[in-house]
Structure formats: structure tokens, C-alpha cells
């Protein structure tokens, strides 16, 4: 799998380097110009967050294209590797890309707080409750959400490739919508009796409550104990089932 990961990296390295340079320049120009022109720091911060989200979305599109290319190569027997390696390699590439973006974001967050004097940021609730256990919980939750969401999309891509022509694309889209609806219904069913106001995030959660004055929300990061174990087990079972489905379709059903 390491060889496949190196191959995926080499195939995308030029695009990644170019996008990284453009992204860093854009963020630097935005921050510096915002300070020189005396823009409201919160406005600059929100635009910066939008750019980070867009960069993460582009990274996700990149690995989807990489997976689709690997899928074609596997169907032609050009990749003499276990089928799940074809899934794992793009996911690792995505995690590495998002880890780099996360480091940049943390450095940028530090600059906004110390240099621009912005008090309220997206990480304010975490800074106020800074604990090693909480940070690990958030990190693992982020990785889990990334992996599970990517496996979900890869399953739909693989399903689409089991049919020839444009019909496969449309069936893949319908599969995506159908699975999303079913999983959303299951999640709603699990949390239907919950009145705690907890928002799940992988293996951690956020508890929200009205402020005493009633004019805002207080956000508390609850950690591992703040989520439903049943919900998390359903997510694991779903992810494993999708992986088995991908493996079956790759070995039996893929169309060129």
C-alpha cells in the first residue's frame, strides 16, 4: 500500500504544491490587506474560514478523482494489490492534506487572536476548556468523520462504476441520496429521545444551552461522554458494511 500511496502522491504532487502556494498567498494577502485597510477583524476571519473550507473541499475532490482513477486501473488489473488498498491510499492522502490545512489554520488562528486581537473565534470554546483528553477526543473525532464520510462517497462511486455509461452516474447519485436519507433517519431515530442539546462530532460532542440573559448560546465541548454509544456503533457498523460492499463490487462487478 505504501507504493500505491507514493504513486498517488506523485500523481497529485504538482497540483498540491501549486494549490498550497496559491492558498497561502491568498490567506496572507487577505490578512495583511485587512489589517492595513482597517477591516473589521471578524469579517476577515469569516472570509478566511470560507477559504479553508473551500480548500478542504478541493482536497476531497482530489482524492475522489484519485480513487476513480485507481478504480479504473484495478478493473484493468493494472494494480496487483488487495482491493481495499485502493480505498485506503486516497483516504491517507486526504488525511495528510487535511492535517496540513489544520496546522495552517491553527497558526492562522493564533495570528488572529494575538495580532488582530480577535476574542471570539471558532476555537474559543475549546481554548476555554483546554485539556489533553479533550484535544485527543476532537482529533480522533475529526479523523473518524473524515474516514467515514470518504468511505460513504467511495461506495457510491464504486456502485456507479458497476454500470456502463451515463446510467451508472445517475444511479450513483441516487444511491448517495438514498443512503444519506436512510442514515439520517437512523441518526434521528437514535437521538429522538435526547433533550440534552448535544451535537455529536465523531466520538466527542458539543452541548449547547441558552445564556442566562437569553441573548445567545453557551457552547460546552463535552468530550467522549457527550455522545451516544449506540449512534457511534451504528456508524462503525455502517462503515464496515460499506467497505465490504466496495470490496465485493471491485472484485466482481466493476465495468470499464
**pLDDT confidence band for 199 (50 / 70 / 90):** very low
For 202-254, the DSSP string reads TTEEEEEEE-TTSSSEEEEE--GGGS-HHHHHHHHHHHHHHHHHHHHHHHHT-
Q: Are residues 101 and 208 in the same domain?
A: no
Q: Are residues 98 and 146 in the same domain?
A: no
Q: Are residues 252 and 142 in the same domain?
A: yes
> Would you say residue 146 lies in a domain?
yes
| Residue 17 confidence (pLDDT) | 92
> Would you say residue 128 lies in a domain?
no
**pLDDT confidence band for 151 (50 / 70 / 90):** very high
Residues linked to residue 219 through DSSP beta bridges, in sequence order: 208
Q: Are residues 142 and 116 in the same domain?
A: no
Q: Are residues 63 and 177 in the same domain?
A: no
- Of 87, 122, 157, the residue that ends a domain is 122
Instruction: Give the count of domains, the chain.
Output: 2
* In the predicted structure, residue 51 carries a pLDDT above the cut 90: yes
The angle subtended at Cα 99 by Cα 141 and Cα 139, nearest 5°, is 20
| Residue 85 confidence (pLDDT) | 82
Q: Are residues 97 and 151 in the same domain?
A: no
- Of 122, 155, 181, the residue that ends a domain is 122
Q: What's the pTM?
A: 0.80
At residue 123, φ and ψ (nearest 5 deg) are -100, 5
Q: 60-92 pLDDT, tens per residue?
A: 999 999 998 888 776 655 556 677 888 888 999
| Residue 203 confidence (pLDDT) | 47
Between 39 and 1, where is the model more confident? 39
Amino acid at each position: 500500500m505504501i507504493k500505491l500511496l507514493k504513486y498517488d502522491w506523485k500523481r497529485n504532487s504538482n497540483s498540491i504544491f501549486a494549490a498550497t502556494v496559491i492558498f497561502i498567498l491568498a490567506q496572507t494577502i487577505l490578512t495583511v490587506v485587512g489589517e492595513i485597510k482597517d477591516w473589521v477583524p471578524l469579517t476577515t476571519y469569516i472570509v478566511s474560514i470560507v477559504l479553508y473550507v473551500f480548500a478542504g473541499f478541493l482536497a476531497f475532490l482530489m482524492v475522489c478523482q484519485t480513487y476513480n482513477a485507481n478504480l479504473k486501473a484495478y478493473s484493468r488489473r493494472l494494480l496487483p494489490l488487495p482491493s481495499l488498498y485502493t480505498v485506503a491510499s486516497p483516504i491517507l492522502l486526504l488525511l495528510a492534506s487535511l492535517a496540513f490545512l489544520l496546522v495552517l489554520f491553527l497558526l492562522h488562528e493564533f495570528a488572529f487572536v494575538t495580532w488582530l486581537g480577535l476574542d471570539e473565534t471558532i476555537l474559543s470554546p475549546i481554548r476555554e476548556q483546554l485539556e489533553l483528553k479533550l484535544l485527543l477526543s476532537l482529533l480522533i473525532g475529526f479523523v473518524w468523520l473524515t474516514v467515514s464520510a470518504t468511505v460513504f462517497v467511495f461506495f457510491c462511486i464504486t456502485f456507479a462504476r458497476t454500470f456502463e455509461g451515463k446510467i451508472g452516474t445517475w444511479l450513483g447519485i441516487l444511491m448517495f441520496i438514498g443512503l444519506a436519507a436512510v442514515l439520517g433517519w437512523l441518526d434521528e431515530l437514535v437521538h429522538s429521545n435526547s433533550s440534552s442539546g448535544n451535537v455529536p462530532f465523531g466520538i466527542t460532542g458539543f452541548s449547547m444551552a441558552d445564556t442566562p440573559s437569553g441573548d445567545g448560546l453557551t457552547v460546552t465541548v463535552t468530550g467522549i461522554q457527550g455522545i451516544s454509544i449506540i449512534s457511534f456503533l451504528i456508524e462503525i457498523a455502517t462503515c464496515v458494511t460499506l467497505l465490504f460492499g466496495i470490496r465485493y463490487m471491485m472484485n466482481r462487478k466493476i465495468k470499464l
